[in-house]
Chains A and B, each alone.
Chain A
């Protein structure tokens, strides 16, 4: 969100925003302290996590199937884990510190080993 701060006579009239839907470019993923980790092998594709996610950060393909987490926007609130009927088998939380520098596979191993 590093846009130039405009002068009073440069701002667009009425505080109108000409590229709507630009909240996508506001990457709130950096707010995260812990992240949800997804295990596709255990996932039953119930979509409860997608319904509850306040940041629209459950990735879904054109067939309506979950494909993962949008970590650019996920704020790590943990509601998806709370709501997942598989009770920590398909989704679980992992501290960002513990995920740092690891590959996706390593992260999954780390998260679900507990």
Chain B
């Protein structure tokens, strides 16, 4: 319904932010999300945005400035990746604890050690407990759409929680593809006006932000905060429906691709889902009942809904774009398994780490996953609960 454009994922994010036209963007550049604040700076210089851009000296300062501006009463957005996201780690908790609906674009990239600038989910997985809503996009269209919806979700009175819209670094951030950009006024109309709850700049009703909560208060505040995050799940669905009415593309907490009668299911997030859809189609052409559960909302984790949609499968493989880092499997695997623990039907669930540090994941690799799932169903045995896709050397 919008205008067809050929632009990268970063440009999609930058345009979304331009159209939302927040009060403040405080940001520091880092590959691969640098073009986002860069383009925003250009839009502001060209008079296309009224936003105050604060070019700070680090990502920690970026989030700090965002918090100050949001507490002041402004609608605030920013962008970062990987080590930048990690540098602002303590401030992520401050933002969510203060219930400030800051919205951040994250071009997901590997965390260094060794140094790597490429696509990976280490950043958003590392921050999964920081109290932020996490939406993950498959492509540029979703990167754009998610940021616009994130503003409405975060600012909902029952939510009032910061939100991030992630998309794979380089795979999506730097790839040109065709997607639809909506009209400036329609986007502005969709996000509406921001109504802050306790803005510091409303001096006739003075408040204190950032107070200390001693042991006999902290726990209650933390749980109150959790309620807001949990409320986001229903709001994501409602905003997704509103978005569908306004722009013709409806969203939910996941996308069930050919899942109705699927025996062999992959659960994944991000750009690998596009490649997987192609493989599902060709397997289906050959009579194999393959399906893909593409998760869009990672935090709060919709475990009930996922257990419902997955429990009919015969075998499931969960793909994590991070190392399991000492856990039984990657974070998505661990949480899916936990979700299925109470289900009446518990299909075998296996885990793959893939695409770390920008490692390419190709149709042949996805095919090997479905082959393994078929073998599990045929033999009734799981040879390896965890493995890696496209890793040199057999893991074990």
| Interface residues of A, Cβ cutoff 8 Å to B | 5-11, 13-18, 20-22
Contacts and interface: CB of A to CB of B under 8 A. Distances in A.
B220 A7 contact: yes
Contact of B99 (A8, A13, A18): A13
Nearest to A22: B208
B198 A9 contact: no
A13 B197 contact: yes
A5 B223 CA distance: 15
B359 interface: no
B227 interface: yes
Given A14-B160, A16-B208, 9 more contacts: A5-B216, A5-B217, A8-B219, A11-B217, A14-B209, A15-B98, A15-B213, A16-B198, A21-B206
Main secondary structure of the interface of A (DSSP, over half): loop
Most buried by B among A11, A18, A22: A11
B349 interface: no
A111 to B, nearest CB: 35
Chain B at the A interface: SS class:
loop
Nearest to A3: B217
Contact of A9 (B216, B217, B224): B224
Interface of B: 97-100, 160, 197-198, 205-209, 211, 213, 216-217, 219-221, 223-225, 227-228
A8 B220 CA distance: 4
B224 A18 contact: no
Contacts of B98: 14-16
A5 B206 CA distance: 23
Contacts of B227: 8-9
Nearest to B227: A9
A38 to B, nearest CB: 32
24 contacts: A5-B217, A8-B219, A8-B220, A8-B224, A9-B224, A10-B220, A11-B217, A11-B220, A13-B197, A13-B198, A13-B228, A14-B98, A14-B160, A14-B197, A14-B198, A14-B209, A14-B225, A15-B98, A15-B221, A16-B198, A16-B211, A17-B211, A20-B206, A20-B207
With most chain B CB atoms within 10 A of its CB, the pick from A6, A8, A15, A20 is A15
A17 B197 CA distance: 12
B79 to A, nearest CB: 24
A15 B131 CA distance: 15
From A10, A13, A17, residue with most partner B Cβ within 10 Å:
A13
A37 B197 CA distance: 46
A11 B208 contact: no
Candidate in B100, B216, B221, B223 with the most chain A CB atoms within 10 angstroms: B221
Contacts of A20: 206-208
B175 to A, nearest CB: 38
Given A5-B216, A8-B219, A18-B198, A13 B224 contact: yes
Nearest to A18: B207
Enumerate the 10 nearest inter-chain pairs by beta-carbon distance, A residue then B residue, closest first: A14-B99, A8-B223, A17-B208, A20-B208, A8-B220, A14-B98, A15-B221, A20-B206, A16-B198, A13-B99
B97 A14 contact: yes
Contacts of B207: 16-18, 20
B71 to A, nearest CB: 9
B173 to A, nearest CB: 32
A18 to B, nearest CB: 6
A5 to B, nearest CB: 6
Nearest to A14: B99
A13 B97 contact: no
A9 to B, nearest CB: 7
A37 B247 CA distance: 73
